[in-house]
Amino acid sequence: MTFKILIEEIHSNLQKIIDEQNFPSVSFVVEPSKPNFGDVTCNIAFLLSKHLKKKPHDIALSISENYQKFLGEKVKKVEAHPSGYINFFANMTYLNEIILKDSMKNDYGDIDLGKKSKIIVEHTSVNPNKALHIGHVRNVVIGDTVSRLLRKANYDVRVLNYVDDSGLQVADIIVGFQHCGFSDNPHSNQKFAQYCGDEVYVKTTEKYSDDPSLEKKRSEILQDLENQNSDIAKFAETITKKILADQLETCWELGSTYDCLNFESQIIRSGLWNKIFEKMKELKLVLLEKEGKNANCWVIRGEKNEDDKILVRSNGTATYIAKDIPYAAWKLGILDDPFNYQKYTVQKDGKTLWQTTLNESSETKQNFFGEKVITVIDSRQSRLQKIITLLMSKFTSKENSYIHLGYESVTLSADTAKTLGLDTKGKQAQMSGRKGLYVNADQVIKLLKQKTLDETKKRNPELDDKSLEQIAHDVAIGTIRYEMIKQDLNKIITFDYEKSLSLEGDTAPYIQYTNARASRILEKAGFSPNFDVAFDLLQNEYEVNLIKLIGKFDLHVQDAANNLSPKVISKYCYHLAVAFNAFYEKVRVLDPENKTLTNVRLCLVTSFKSTLQKALYLIGITAPDKM
């Protein structure tokens, strides 16, 4: 029993009143009220006033009078506000108990949007020629959070990480290794991925302008990469696998896990392109241009004023976007699966990570397609993703089966850009892997860890190194994950070294600290509270506010999952923490003079902690008991 059920009951009762009164059918909304306007509110009177030609307040009066017969254990009062809203007041003496007990169940907050249907989430997908930078982190965190949310909403989720191991960027570092004298086995303390990105990639691409022959070599390499048996392809595979391993280490540290790694090289060699190309021809989705600037090319017509998009060049080779089409179709199960599967590793959470192979495999065949696919890529790819979305909609009957979840990029503040040697004259700067203008993810994590380690040590001198390390990890990862999702997806994040280290206010450490406070109370109490008691003692405003918020967990899960909006959950966590801190400040829990009250308040603290942790789990944040 939660506010969601309360709302559903009120909605259904109001519908009954509409039917009884023969009112016109309107799509009214029943939702939690703003503070001081009851607990639940409805806009039905506004909508009806248009049809009935009466004042909203009069209609509200009449409906609330009519509603009296439905009052009972859940709703104790209905009120027609002069503004026209109908406000409902929950019966908290009844709800206290239900909410607090329910919140202790493992499945608290679960909702059933997915009905166990299979859904694919693809995220991370960083070119395997470099280490992750702070912009990639946003992708990982959004993708991982959305996966967790969808699981909570009863979808059967599979997470894919696409490895573009045969693209231009990989070719660039191969040029570096083979023609510019960079060692593929450097004596260096830094990760191999970072070395490849910082040294080989940046410095090799710098040389193109001086030595045009290098670009020619690159295009030869690019061709060779598609041929499985070429020496180049074999060499590239060892390099990209090594880089991928380093990248995954960072992703795992961020708390993300995956189900399968897909390699572009294998998709190319699998022949999927020809199959989907034939299908597109059949459905007349692609046209062979007879004349004009795109003569002899296969194109997709642009919508409205947009240009046509070339899929196959006049020389018969496929363009970049053409590589994405078979993969998208494969994810939706539109094409027969040409792959076998091998185990890559078992991840920290116990989940097996698979990888595709075109070779024989002794492992049983897996499948990683779903009736819905969500692809997390930044919005600079919106145009291409729009074309793919449109194409996919022609192959399946279901609506919205392919979803591009876009997000704005992470840019660097003027100050941070300056530390990297770029004077932007006070403006923010776009990151660029090619130019070496980016902030390395591992480095940010390390910096945050050091800062939180120092803080924690100061406050908890008795803790051993292992515990300190764990806490520093939880707080550092919490901080970075929270910063990546707390604002809307289509708002640019300007990364600044100074500001990213802030641990106060609307941040993960604030929320984690609140959890530590709750833990401290429970620890000092010295016993687990008994939930088999009367909860009507909890009635001051701080207690009631907290209970109500706990009771709204599933509403926020629903909102977040429906809208694929991670920030909804981060906001919820923050509001829970704020409500607890007010309670903590004003209400003393441990009272030796009053055992009954202490027990019931300990129930509330326990419930809060349990709910907060469940909510934080959805955004991949762990709250330590001490920090």
Partner RNA sequence: GGGCUCGUUGCAUAGCUUGGAUAGUGCGAUUGCUUGCGGAGCAAUAGGUCGGGGGUUCGAAUCCCUUCGGGCCCGCCA
Site for RNA in 13-42 (CB under 7 A): 29, 31, 33-38, 41
Q: How far is the CB of 180 from RNA (least distance, A)?
A: 19
Within residues 254-293, the interface with RNA by CB under 7 A covers 293
Site for RNA in 102-161 (CB under 7 A): none
Q: Which of residues 320-359 bind RNA (CB under 7 A)?
A: 320-321, 323
Instruction: Between 371 and 488, name the residue whose CB sits nearer to RNA.
Output: 488
CA separation for the pair 288, 495 (Å, rounded):
46
Q: Cβ of residue 259: shortest distance to RNA, in angstroms?
A: 25
Euclidean distance between CA atoms 33 and 39, whole angstroms = 5
Q: Considering CB under 7 A, how many residues would be counted as binding RNA?
A: 95
Task: Decide if residue 435 touches RNA (CB under 7 A).
Answer: no
Q: Does 437 bind RNA (CB under 7 A)?
A: no
> Is 167 or 436 the residue whose CB approaches RNA more closely?
167
Q: Which is nearer to RNA, 229 or 490 (CB)?
A: 490
- State yes or no: residue 627 binds RNA (CB under 7 A): yes
The β-bridge partners of 625 are none
Q: What is the DSSP letter of 301?
A: P
Strand partners, 287: 299
Q: Closer CB to RNA, residue 166 or residue 250?
A: 166
Q: Is 505 in the site for RNA (CB under 7 A)?
A: yes
345 or 450: whose CB is closer to RNA? 450
Interface segment toward RNA; rule CB under 7 A; list 135-143, 277-285, 363-371, 585-593:
585-593
Using the rule CB under 7 A, give the single segment among 5-13, 134-142, 305-313, 611-619 that binds RNA.
305-313
User: If you ran DSSP here, which 8-state letter would residue 330 be given?
Assistant: H
**Which pair of structure tokens corresponds to residue 585?**
């400040």
Largest CA distance in the chain: 92
Contact yes or no for 599/530 (Cβ under 8 A): yes
Pick between residue 167 and residue 529 the one whose CB is nearest to RNA.
Answer: 167
| CB closer to RNA out of 81 and 331 | 81
Comparison of 314 and 367: residue with beta carbon closer to RNA: 314
Q: Binding to RNA by residue 51, rule CB under 7 A?
A: no
What is the footprint of RNA within residues 457-486 (CB under 7 A)? 459-460, 475
Would you say 258 or 584 has its CB closer to RNA? 584
Smaller CB separation from RNA, 102 or 474: 474
DSSP 413: -
List 57, 571, 613, 617, residue binding RNA (CB under 7 A): 571
Residues 589-618, mask of contacts with RNA (x by CB under 7 A): xx----------------------------
Shorter beta-carbon distance to RNA: residue 129 or 366: 129
- Smallest distance, RNA to C-beta of residue 224, A: 13
Site for RNA in 55-74 (CB under 7 A): 56
Taking CB under 7 A as the criterion, the residue among 210, 349, 585, 593 binding RNA is: 585
Q: Does 305 bind RNA (CB under 7 A)?
A: yes
Range in contact with RNA (rule: CB under 7 A) among 91-99, 137-145, 227-235, 564-572 = 564-572
Structure tokens at 271: 């022949």
Give the C-alpha separation, 153 to 541, whole Å. Answer: 31
Task: Name the percent of the chain in helix, strand, coil, to the closest 5.
Answer: 50, 10, 35
The count of other CB atoms within 10 Å of the CB of residue 233 is 19
CA pair distance 89, 589, nearest whole angstrom: 27
Whose Cβ is closer to RNA: residue 333's or residue 566's? 566
Within a 10 A sphere around the Cβ of 281, how many other Cβ atoms? 13
Our measurement of the distance from residue 77's CA atom to the centroid of its chain's CA atoms, rounded to an integer in Å, reads 39
Exposure of 555 by Cβ count < 10 A (0-12 exposed, 13-18 middle, 19+ buried)? buried
Among the listed ranges 112-120, 241-249, 501-509, 529-537, the one in contact with RNA (CB under 7 A) is 501-509
Give the burial class of 541: count Cβ atoms within 10 A of its Cβ; 0-12 exposed, 13-18 middle, 19 or more buried: exposed
Query: Whose Cβ is closer to RNA: residue 12's or residue 296's?
Result: 296
Choose the stretch contacting RNA; rule: CB under 7 A; options: 115-123, 130-138, 503-511, 546-554. 503-511
Quick check: 430 binds RNA (CB under 7 A)? yes
Determine the distance from the C-alpha atom of residue 453 to the mean position of all C-alpha atoms in its chain, rounded to a whole number: 27
Coil vs helix vs strand at 477: helix
Nearest CA among 214, 19, 101 for reference residue 532:
101
In Å, how far are 35, 431, 544 from 540, measured between CA atoms?
A: 15, 51, 6
43 counts as binding RNA under rule CB under 7 A: yes
User: How many C-beta atoms lie closer than 10 Å to residue 287's C-beta?
Assistant: 16
Q: Which of residues 188-227 bind RNA (CB under 7 A)?
A: 222
Measured from the Cβ of residue 226, the count of other Cβ atoms closer than 10 Å reads: 15
**310 part of the interface to RNA, by CB under 7 A:** yes
CB of residue 468 to RNA, shortest distance in Å: 10
DSSP 379: G
Q: Which is nearer to RNA, 129 or 257 (CB)?
A: 129
Q: Are 172 and 129 in contact (CB under 8 A)?
A: yes
At residue 24, φ and ψ (nearest 5 deg) are -60, 150
Sheet holding 340-346, edge to edge: 340-346, 352-357, 260-263, 156-163, 118-122, 372-376, 402-405
x/- mask, RNA, residues 508-547, rule CB under 7 A, reads: -xx--x--xx--xx--x-----------------------
With CB under 7 A as the contact rule, the residue among 379, 396, 424, 613 that binds RNA is: 379
- The least distance separating RNA from the CB of residue 276, rounded to whole angstroms, comes to 17
Q: How is residue 235 written in tokens? A: 């060499």
